[in-house]
Copies of this chain bind each other. A is one copy, B any other.
Amino acid sequence: MTDKKEHIINHAVELFAEKGFEGTSIRDLATKAGVNVAMVNYYFGSKEKLFESMLALKSSYTRGVLDEIAKNKSISDIEKIELVIDSHINKLFLNRKFHRVIHQELMLSKRESLQQAIVDILYPNSLIIRGIIETGIKNGSFKKVDPPLVIATLTGTINQVLLSKKMCNKLLNKEEDYVPYEDAKFSKRVADHLKQLMRSYLLNHS
């Protein structure tokens, strides 16, 4: 992947996140990236292939960390969940623009092949978390919960605050121009909430 291609992709993520795939024109993108309109098709072939290239480049960040947490044998199950929460929030807050883009595409049923590609990016993570939860249940350290829905709660809560600055600020009673995602206090607040929630829900006080 050349510098120029990455440069275009990075601007594409910004625009796709703000205006959606259909709402972003090649001309907008070319202007913002400071290149000629023809360069996008020259490098990527088409707007849709540009999107696929973006997926391929930006989805690489997902794997790895979660796996290590799951395999770690020196920490308890609930500590694993807490580490998962921390790393997940960290990752999603940092890559929130890209995350917004794939969330959009996941909701739409145009371009269904891309939908499958996005599921393939997101699903492995949920599988790992599921493994931790089910192990905890077998161990007797966790209560008998509904693992898929616990995952929906974890990711759903983070998505809920991540996907709309306007709604998030309204919910938190913050002023309009506050950017919660760049405030370490806020990401810690979300993490603390989820950790306490999971502790009280998962742990078996027997």
Contact = CB atoms under 8 A, between A and B. Distances in A.
Nearest to A22: B22
A69 to B, nearest CB: 20
A16 B172 CA distance: 29
Give the number of copies in the complex: 2
A159 B157 CA distance: 9
Interface string A17-33: 01111110000000000
Interface stretch (A37-45, A46-54, A75-83, A196-204): A196-204
Contacts of A158: 156
B166 A157 contact: no
A20 B110 contact: yes
A164 B123 contact: no
A18 B163 contact: no
A100 B115 CA distance: 16
By secondary structure, the A interface counts as: helix
Contacts of A109: 18-19
Given A20-B22, A100-B107, A107-B164, A153 B197 contact: yes
A166 B18 contact: no
Contacts of A115: 164, 166
